[in-house]
Structure 1
Amino acid sequence: MKFSDRKHILRLLEQQSEVKRIFDQFARDAGRELARFAPKADPGRVLPADVWLHNRVAEQRIEKLLVQLHDDLLVNFDAHTRAAWEEANKNVDAMLSDFIRGLPISETARRGMFARNAHAFRSFMQRKEAGMNLSERIWKATESAKENLAYFVASGVAEGRPAALISQDIRALLLEPDRRFHRIRNARGQLVLSRPMRNYHPGAGIYRSSYMNALRVGATETNIAYHEADHERWQRLDFVLGVKVERSGTSAKPCPVCDAMQGTYPKGFKFLPWHPFCICHATPVMLSGEEFTDYLVTGHMPPGRVLRDMPQRALEYVEQHPYYRNSYSYRHNVPFFNPQAAAKASSSAPTSAPTRAPRPEKTAALNIRRKELFRIARLELKGKTVIRPELKQPIEFTGTGIKEVLNQPHDHVREKNEAILDIVRLIQEAEYIGGKLDDKGRNLMFHYFKTEIAGDPSFIVIKEDLNMKKVSLYTITDKSRSEKTGE
């Protein structure tokens, strides 16, 4: 494990300590309030839901403390998330500096490699998970705290106890809600059964403890920020071929999820924590300096170097454990784990007219795969050419043309996008239909080559610049030349 990844794990541990201190402060403040107002309760008879009925002032004070708890956690999570994102960027900068040292890189290309995407960070901070932003996820994680206190008060434990002891009880309850107060000695020295605590069953959530839920949200948020920043930078580096995910090596215990999911993944795969508190790490699989220099000169990626296959063991684990499809990692990588599901999602729009189905919706899975295809095609095709006897110049592949193919609407959009990986053969075997001058007055000629996508006719459009005497791939469409030009 690299030093930078160890440093990230230390940040997660530091954050856990800070979250505990925040909850300890909440417990101390809540203990003082409960001791001050001494809410009355009759153990075994007063329901937790009724505790606050005659203690409105105490309830208001507790709710104010809950707001402060939320705000303190939000500030903490925000600070650690920003720090993790920045640290990941610094790590990529260091890796870049080492990799390109001595390579013939232009200053423009160098600046592009070191550029940081501020928009990506803003989008990350503003994103929603399960329809909730970070503030809302913190509220959900801590919402059981008030219920914890209601059960505690209903048990009668607080009556007559000093604030310091009440604070200790609250701290134990927030951290370990499974704790049972079977027999409690009240202010009169009598032992009483704590039936409400014995029957305590908090609401839905991964953990019964509001403290553990807050830890989970904080650790997950910081962890995702670190790996998201890595992913965003790696995608813009042509010499990165894929991602290798490994166990951290800091734990001797086996983990069924991490053990199954480790391996080498395609470049577009977004590694995110496999589970809450996951400390696996990812490193980029890269070209050698010599290979990258050749690529800069020729524009050709070394054969077979682009990674496309998923680890078989990871695919088997997801297949055998359907619940894992609810995880962060699966939801952000559906096209890699389940291409069939991504294809179904991209073509599931209902038919609105008997003669022509509507265009498939642009799903998140489809967009993820489209970006991955663009990266692969740009690496493999940019700068290459293919010959057609009908044209005087060889057909070039440009980044603009590849992007236009992937952005072009189509009845079989997924299959059309996948066709970019086989575009050389498709052009060579397509039937030439003819050409037409640009109807907008530009000195351009568009040539149409008929092929098939998913069994239906489609047309590869080639653009010829009559001034520059250049010919390049323009797009793929399912409209015929007459439909396209209005003839």
Structure 2
Amino acid sequence: MPKPKIPNQRKANIEHKKRTERYTILIHQVYDRMAQEAARLAVIAGANTSRPFSFADYPLTKESIKRLQTQLMNDVGTIIMSGTSEEWKESNLVQDLVAKKVLTAYTGTSNSGEEYSRYFETNPDSLKAFQQRKENGMNLSSRVWNLSEQYKHELEEAITAAIAPGTSAMSLAAQVKKYLKEPDKRFRRIKEKMEDGTIKWHLSKNAKAYHPGQGVYRSSARNAQRLARTEINMAYRTAEQERWKQFDFVVGYEVKTTQNGHHVEDMCDMLAGKYPKDFKFTGWHPQCMCYCIPILKTEDEFWADDDVKSVNEVTDVPQNFKDWINDNSDRIEAAEKRGTLPYFIRDNRDDVENVLYPELRKKTPIEIASERHAARSAADIKDIKDRWNAKLERDANIKMVANNVLKVAQQWSEIDYSQLEQMVADNNITALTEESRKVAQAVKAMRDEEKALSDLIPDVQTWHDQFSIEELKAVKEAVSNTISKLDQSTFESFKSNLAFEADWVIKNSSYATKFVAEAAYKNQIKIVNEKIYWRDIKSSSENYISKLESVNPKLAKKLSKDFDVAVANGNKKGAEAYIYNLSKWDKIINLHSSLSNGGIDIADFEKFIKEGKLNKAWTEYNKLKTSQLGNNNLEEYCAMQYTTKFNVHDQDSYTKTMKILIGDCHDAWINAPEEERRAIIKYTGSYSKEMIVDRASGKSNELVTHLDSLLDKIKLSEDMVLRSGQDLCVPRIIFGDDFANILESEDLDSLNKKFSGHKGFNGGYMSTSYNELGGFGDKDIEFHIFAPKGTHGMIANQISSCAENRGVDWDAVSFRSDWRERGESEFLLHGGYIYKFIKAEKDTRMSDTGIRLYIQILGRK
């Protein structure tokens, strides 16, 4: 058969480089966005142009820059993690092709089958280990955080150099980006106003003290790009090396330089050549883009016994590698002392030491085995194979346990698992059991340490990835001491004091562990909130039960007992269900009391109350209530049921409300013609001015007709509290000029006295939010709307291009699972409703000059 035509590794490497550069472009964009936002902050803060700028000098920028740094760390880290994952995958795709080409050439088929399945393992655990490894005690997040610290100082220098009185945020951002690209100009333009009023230009202290080190750029952005190129390339090469270990037909490989037309001779040329299969190559230096070509067995060797040595096998490093090692022995020794050895020396110590100290070189296991094999008889070989096969299962179990222990131990940098790791690598079965036991004990001890901290510090394991156990112990001790001194006389005072401490530690502490302390305080707040929740729900239960005892003592006793069981089990849903039913009984009892002396037949009502039949009593309650409300029943219903508490306020209430709102629109959406679906998507996604004007003015157009048709078929099955930010023109249209003029003057007392209870008409649709702080909040006027059940409208978050963007094909079932307090959260109210004004009050939660109008929706015209 012909020699395998393996994939063109040079071409694959070029494509790999192109993909890598796309990730560096994304990183550049992240840095640009942060520079633009930092410039905006500097202008808003009113930076003093007569002295060097520092984010720490201004309350606005002090905390904002930390948030920007965290965002930068998360964005850059995500880009690099995505790059390493994708290039690991791309490398494996190339190696799949190598395996298929070899199998096709040597076996006549590319079908791997059971026999060759090992050739196609993609080693996801090795990828995870690569991504979670630590360099000099720092994981990827820590290294990127250090870059964000460097960038903060660069921004301060650049803003100092660029800012002048009256500089706009846009202009400053452009200048800052310019100086960030040219560090030397940035440092030369630092200025300081002297006592005599003159301006002196000089290098800042930061600039004078800034020595990034050999091989490190003065630009944080370039360092981030350098880190990305190195990490992504190492992931690609590591995946390649892992696969070649699995390929018994690979007997070595050749490292080649890129030779791309812009190539300058460097160490890559000096080290290029053919290397043994067990030589680990992930790059000669940071940003190295050399590539490898595997060296294969011949077809006869592929089918031969494993003991047959390949004529193509590379058994030693090339002479030029040995020469380079000898020529650079002093540099290698110095790097060893500094702890900055290149990867290719760290990963191949035996090869390096064999070059530097040839007199100490021992025979390799392969050489010793070959000599023994040559001296054995056929009987000896059979005996060895029999004993070996009997031993294999036991050794495999020992190694499996060792690997499992090692995998767990690698979660903690403080556990010394190097001996076990080396023993696994060396396949030292004899010592593995004892060493596995020692490391397992260290793992248990570390878990015990974390458990001891977890009573105060939440997510200890996550924090332990960033800080040592001793640092976390210090945090616990400090937080515990502070908490012991706080006023805990009431839950509310304790919660308030905890919130103060959480805020104080972030603003004032200089320790890196301050975020751990903040999390500990917030966790205590969560615990206190839980206690407040149970206290309040118990109080509600007691009030309801007390009233119920007067009409049905037996039922009151049973419900009280059931409620206590739910509380004892910490069953919130069960407890809330009992409170919900008790609240129904409370309304039933109140209505019964008001009708007892009237001329209305309430015999059935009283019967159901005495029998404790809630559903029948509630049905009768609604009948009697409706008859009492008369013609103005909706307005009276709103008055009785009115609340300002939002239906959505946490994860559980979000999930529950989504199911209700989606259930309300399910049938209408599923059965709606496509033009009706597209009408609401156009309205919510593009802010169609034509639809807004025409609907509000009572005109008709095709889109309005379709949207009206859809919303006419959808009603709320439960009361909803909604909010919407609007310009002043909207209350002017709904309630009139006099109302709007007083509102504009912000004389809210006069507005409330004159217009409380006033009704207006809104002919147009209104985009609202079911979150108190989410969406449609960038306006000074906020409508706080009580929409009673029966109100026409539709949840639009799932279909809007501004939110989940599921479009016309939405299944009217699925929705985003996680609740976002400030995220896009649209509910579209139908037009043509009467709005009743309740009151207005100042509210600065959404804007500094915000005014909230409380509204009840009544009938439609």
Residue of structure 1 equivalent to 2:151: 145
Secondary structure at 1:11's aligned position in 2?
Answer: helix
> Following the alignment from structure 2 to structure 1, what is the Cα–Cα distance between the partners of residues 382 and 344?
46
Task: Pick one of 33, 37, 41 that aligns with 2:45.
Answer: 37
Residue of structure 1 equivalent to 2:671: none
Task: Pick one of 132, 155, 158 that aligns with 2:138.
Answer: 132
Residue of structure 2 equivalent to 1:234: 244
Shift of 1:123: 1.0
Task: Pick one of 372, 376, 381 that aligns with 1:387.
Answer: 376
Answer whether contact 2:10 2:291 (CA < 8 A) is retained: no
Residues 248-267 of structure 1: pairs in structure 2 closer than 5 A: 248-267=258-277
Shift of 1:388: 6.3
CA 1:232/1:398 → structure 2, altered by over 3 Å: closer, same or farther?
farther
Residue of structure 1 equivalent to 2:121: 115
> Following the alignment from structure 2 to structure 1, what is the Cα–Cα distance between the partners of residues 319 and 176?
47
Residues 14-53 of structure 1: pairs in structure 2 closer than 5 A: 14-43=22-51, 51-53=54-56
- Which amino acid is the alignment partner of residue 24 of structure 2? Q
Residue of structure 2 equivalent to 1:78: 81
Answer whether contact 2:80 2:232 (CA < 8 A) is retained: yes
CA 1:333/1:342 → structure 2, altered by over 3 Å: closer, same or farther?
farther
> Following the alignment from structure 2 to structure 1, what is the Cα–Cα distance between the partners of residues 261 and 114?
43
Shift of 1:394: 5.4
Residues 333-348 of structure 1: pairs in structure 2 closer than 5 A: 333-339=348-354
TM-score for the superposition, normalised by structure 1: 0.66
Q: Can you give the 5+ residue segments of structure 2 that lack an aligned partner in the other structure?
A: 1-8, 336-340, 400-421, 428-861
Secondary structure at 2:295's aligned position in 1?
Answer: strand
Residue of structure 2 equivalent to 1:308: 315
Shift of 1:31: 1.2
Answer whether contact 1:99 1:289 (CA < 8 A) is retained: no
Residue of structure 1 equivalent to 2:760: none
Task: Pick one of 228, 242, 246 that aligns with 1:218.
Answer: 228
Residue of structure 1 equivalent to 2:346: 331
Higher helix share: 2
Answer whether contact 1:185 1:192 (CA < 8 A) is retained: yes
> Following the alignment from structure 1 to structure 2, what is the Cα–Cα distance between the partners of residues 266 and 275?
20
Greater alpha carbon shift after TM alignment, 213-222 vs 146-155: 146-155
CA-based RMSD: 4.0
Residue of structure 1 equivalent to 2:288: 278
CA 1:390/1:110 → structure 2, altered by over 3 Å: closer, same or farther?
closer
Q: Can you give the 5+ residue segments of structure 1 that lack an aligned partner in the other structure?
A: 348-368, 408-412, 419-487
Shift of 1:217: 0.8
- Which amino acid is the alignment partner of residue 332 of structure 1? D
Residue of structure 2 equivalent to 1:61: 64
Shift of 1:61: 1.3
Q: Does 1:98 align with 2:101?
A: yes
Answer whether contact 1:385 1:394 (CA < 8 A) is retained: no
> Following the alignment from structure 2 to structure 1, what is the Cα–Cα distance between the partners of residues 148 and 58?
21
Shift of 1:155: 4.5
Answer whether contact 1:274 1:328 (CA < 8 A) is retained: yes
- Which amino acid is the alignment partner of residue 119 of structure 2? M
CA 1:127/1:59 → structure 2, altered by over 3 Å: closer, same or farther?
same
> Following the alignment from structure 1 to structure 2, what is the Cα–Cα distance between the partners of residues 11 and 257?
24
Q: Does 1:247 align with 2:262?
A: no
> Following the alignment from structure 1 to structure 2, what is the Cα–Cα distance between the partners of residues 303 and 215?
42
- Relative contact order, higher structure (CA 8 A, sep 6+): 1
Q: What is the percent sequence identity of the aligned residues?
A: 25
CA 1:185/1:118 → structure 2, altered by over 3 Å: closer, same or farther?
closer
> Following the alignment from structure 2 to structure 1, what is the Cα–Cα distance between the partners of residues 357 and 146?
30
- Which amino acid is the alignment partner of residue 338 of structure 1? E
Answer whether contact 1:183 1:193 (CA < 8 A) is retained: no
Shift of 1:195: 1.8
Residue-pair matches, total: 372
Shift of 1:70: 1.2
Shift of 1:224: 0.2
Residues 318-467 of structure 1: pairs in structure 2 closer than 5 A: 318-321=325-328, 322-323=330-331, 326-339=341-354, 386-387=375-376, 395-396=384-385
Residue of structure 1 equivalent to 2:21: 13
Answer whether contact 2:253 2:275 (CA < 8 A) is retained: yes
CA 1:393/1:82 → structure 2, altered by over 3 Å: closer, same or farther?
closer
> Following the alignment from structure 1 to structure 2, what is the Cα–Cα distance between the partners of residues 87 and 273?
17
Shift of 1:26: 1.1
CA 1:22/1:183 → structure 2, altered by over 3 Å: closer, same or farther?
closer
CA 1:203/1:5 → structure 2, altered by over 3 Å: closer, same or farther?
same
Secondary structure at 1:151's aligned position in 2?
Answer: helix
CA 1:306/1:253 → structure 2, altered by over 3 Å: closer, same or farther?
closer
CA 1:96/1:18 → structure 2, altered by over 3 Å: closer, same or farther?
same
> Following the alignment from structure 1 to structure 2, what is the Cα–Cα distance between the partners of residues 183 and 233?
53
Answer whether contact 2:161 2:191 (CA < 8 A) is retained: no
Shift of 1:328: 2.0
Q: Does 1:171 align with 2:181?
A: no
> Following the alignment from structure 1 to structure 2, what is the Cα–Cα distance between the partners of residues 151 and 236?
52
Answer whether contact 1:242 1:267 (CA < 8 A) is retained: yes
TM-score for the superposition, normalised by structure 2: 0.39
Secondary structure at 1:217's aligned position in 2?
Answer: helix
> Following the alignment from structure 1 to structure 2, what is the Cα–Cα distance between the partners of residues 26 and 53?
17
Answer whether contact 1:224 1:273 (CA < 8 A) is retained: yes
Secondary structure at 1:179's aligned position in 2?
Answer: helix
Answer whether contact 1:240 1:285 (CA < 8 A) is retained: yes
- Which amino acid is the alignment partner of residue 40 of structure 2? R
> Following the alignment from structure 2 to structure 1, what is the Cα–Cα distance between the partners of residues 200 and 344?
45
Shift of 1:83: 0.5
Secondary structure at 2:171's aligned position in 1?
Answer: helix
Shift of 1:391: 6.4
